[in-house]
Chain A
Amino acid sequence: MVAPSSFGNKEDHQIVGCLHMGHLHLPTTHTNCHNNGKMVIGSSKKVVANQLDEEKRVCALVVDDDPLVRKLHQMFLNRQGLDADVAENGKEAVDLFASGMNYDLVLMDMEMPVMDGPKATRELRAMGVTSMIVGVTGRGVEADKAAFMAAGLDDCIDKPLNGGAIIAMLDELAKKVL
């Protein structure tokens, strides 16, 4: 168990929020999550032994049609101690949830073939999915962003993602769950 007093600065506290969330009994089954045994914390690069139960690890799903973007977003999430599965389009994401998988956080690209972000988000919400869904959009039309939010997003951020945006998202997730 990681004690908050062992962290010195504010940034670490933000990550600690996430770790604490990981200790809660989240109503999810992470059958696909791997127990890596290590967790890297932000810029301080402390490696903390992962003592979290596999069931309780925070899991994310990256939904994007571009393999480069999937790899990048997965890496940003891994860096914050999250396991991340990937899906190539909205339909794959919906199928994953329908098959019984559950994720605490979904990064949903807006424009994708087969099924786009807004449609997938609407379907997930209609299925009763309460995970945090964050839309990822290229800089563009405000109306599109608003329509995407209206589909049921918790938040919407611009591509490309960076470390800071991920940390801010995890703070929000921690607040949602705690």
Chain B
Amino acid sequence: MEVDQLQRSFLEYTNSLFRFLDGQFGQLQLLQDESNPEFVFEVVSLFFEDSERILNDLTLALDQQNVDFKKIDAHVHQFKGSSSSIGAQRVRNACIAFRNFCEGQNVEACRRCLQQVKQEYLLVKTKLEALLRLEQQILAAGGVIPMLDS
């Protein structure tokens, strides 16, 4: 495929992600340059690892006989922080809602929140993976990843 075409696809796809990724993601892309060519990939990979660990911890915590809401709140807070640092706004919003239910100490409601957060995470994960694949295709075809207007 032509580099031009790939770059256009990349820009179109990035623009279509505005509901899932806010301006913060653009900030990350700005940090990528010749001396840090893999930066976005590294940060996104870290986000996946981080998220999966937190989601596992949350699942376990909500499965306990005596649910430790303080612990759950701490996990959700961390997830809120990392998702907002990468620009995953829907995940962040789901975390905010989750924390509200934590305060209410309602196990069932929290389990529903966890499902919601998981769903949003999987959605953004799919989008990010597709974006990274497009980046790889552009690089493999000898092109450069186009910069976006922040």
Residues of A within 8 A of B (CB): 38, 40, 45, 64-69, 71-72, 75-76, 79, 111, 113, 138, 159-163
Contact = CB atoms under 8 A, between A and B. Distances in A.
A45 B82 contact: no
Contact of B86 (A64, A68, A162): A68
Interface in B62-96: 74, 77-78, 80-82, 84-87
Contacts of A71: 42-43, 46
Nearest to A73: B85
B27 A163 contact: yes
Interface in B41-68: 42-43, 46-47, 50
B30 A163 contact: yes
Contact of B31 (A38, A75, A159): A75
B31, B39, B81 — most chain A CB neighbours (10 Å): B81
Nearest to B95: A138
A40 B31 CA distance: 11
Contact of B85 (A68, A79, A111): A68
Contacts of A160: 24, 27, 84-85, 87
22 contacts: A38-B35, A40-B33, A64-B81, A66-B50, A66-B78, A66-B82, A68-B46, A68-B50, A68-B82, A68-B85, A68-B86, A69-B81, A69-B82, A69-B85, A72-B43, A75-B31, A75-B39, A76-B31, A138-B84, A160-B27, A160-B87, A162-B24
Interface residues of B, number: 24
B50 to A, nearest CB: 5
A79 B77 contact: no
B5 interface: no
Contacts of B87: 160
Nearest to B44: A68
B126 interface: no
B31 A138 contact: no
B46 A67 contact: yes
Contacts of A163: 27, 30-31
A113 B81 contact: no
Nearest to A45: B33
Contact of A138 (B33, B80, B86): B80
Contacts of B80: 138
B85 to A, nearest CB: 4
Interface string B1-45: 000000000000000000000001001101101011001001100
Contact of B78 (A40, A65, A75, A76): A65
A34 to B, nearest CB: 14
A161 B42 CA distance: 18
A67 B42 CA distance: 12
Contacts of A138: 77, 80-81, 84
B34 to A, nearest CB: 9
Contacts of B35: 38, 40
A68 B84 contact: no
